[in-house]
Amino acid sequence: MATRNLLSDRSVYVAGIGLHRYQHLSETPYVTLGLTAVREALKDAALEWRHVDTAYVGNARIGMAAGSTMLRYLGPSNVAVAQVENASASGSTAFRQAVHDVASGLAEVSIAIGVDKPVAGAGRGGPVNAKVRSLADGLVVPFTHFAMLTERYMADTGATAEQIAKVAVKNHGYGAHNPFAQRQKARTLEEVLAPPVIAGPLTRLQCTPVGEGGAAVIVASANAMKQLGMNRKRGVRVTASASRLQEFTPGDNPDVVLTQNTTMDALEAAGVAPADLDVIELHDAFSIEEFLYAEAMGLCGVGEAADRLERGEFHIGGKHAISPSGGLLAMGHPIGPTGVGQVCEIVRQLRGEAGQRQQPEARIGLAHMVGVGAVCVVHILQRT
């Protein structure tokens, strides 16, 4: 059943973005990670904390009350705070909640924050505690799962391991120009293919690093931007936010089907086509995912992604710039911040502020995340 798109009733704009660099586990408190991003977003929006009505804090690994504990250090405020956990899509879901608060009129200004740190024993949540046995309990972890999908993709399409590794070459190259990326070193194809091998054809540099970081995005109504003196010219409009839960699809790759359906929901709500997308930030925790999801989103036909990449269509300056931030492969995947950070990159691109990573004349961008469950969240943003 089709759902109402609140964003067609009331315009919502991203008014400010902020990041703390994604990095390996350190002694930095999570409060510092998160508040660095929040303060940068407030500064970017030229906004005071007291004007924020609601806040959603996405995290998956730092525990109960992390958001309210962190935000009290910003000083007295009547902000309503909620914590959001949705696996890898935690930050994406926090952004969706903030957007819908403003779109529905429940708030004039809202903030989505993602913050996380690796914690021993994290991740032993619903899937483990469900007590539902699997034929492969403990054996199929994410990297083995995606290694098998890589083998299947190569068998089905004729793509080579070298072609798939070129995704990582591209994204590490972009990460080298991103001051917020965890991996900031360009890599050759030989380096990407070099050991250690993690599983099947996937080497270490074709798998995302999972570290820590912070990201924040402020969204506001047109009325709030005018009344509070925010720069409307730098505001980027959110035109769609879609979310779905995985359906049972025998014989198909469930993440691909889920991505396809969620993306189609978002594109329809925004009134745009896949060909209209200038910039895409997608869930590329493993190099094969760029091919799988690019095809699922309709950027090209099934089995065509390798050829499109080699022709430069997925590079900056090409038809669709995919993961110009460096993606999860180079930018990193600290879990809670990841989806919010994707929105930061899309906004930076649509403002024309991405420097060496800038996609020329970028007007429409899409941010995509999948998470354990499986869930998928897709946002579409447009330059006004």
pLDDT digits (tens, 9 = 90+) for 86-127: 999 999 999 999 999 999 999 999 999 999 998 755 545 555
Across-strand partners of 281?
367
How much is the pLDDT for 143? 76
Query: What is the reported pTM?
Result: 0.94
The residue assigned the tokens 């990159």 is 345
Is omega for the bond preceding 209 within 30 degrees of 0, making it cis? no
How much is the pLDDT for 3? 61
205-216 pLDDT, tens digit each:
999 999 999 999
How much is the pLDDT for 126? 52
How much is the pLDDT for 146? 83
Q: What is the CATH number of domain 6-119+209-383?
A: 3.40.47.10
How much is the pLDDT for 138? 53
- Of 288, 294, 281, 274, nearest to 338 by C-alpha is 281
Torsion of CA 58, 60, 63, 69, to 10 degrees: -20
How much is the pLDDT for 1? 45
The residue assigned the tokens 């990095």 is 23
Which tokens is 43 given? Answer: 């500064």
CA 45, 227, 98, 3 dihedral sign is negative
Q: Which residues of the chain have pLDDT under 50?
A: 1, 123, 130, 135
Give yes or no for a contact between 358 and 349, defined as CB atoms under 8 angstroms apart: yes
How much is the pLDDT for 140? 54
**Amino acid letter, residue 150:** T
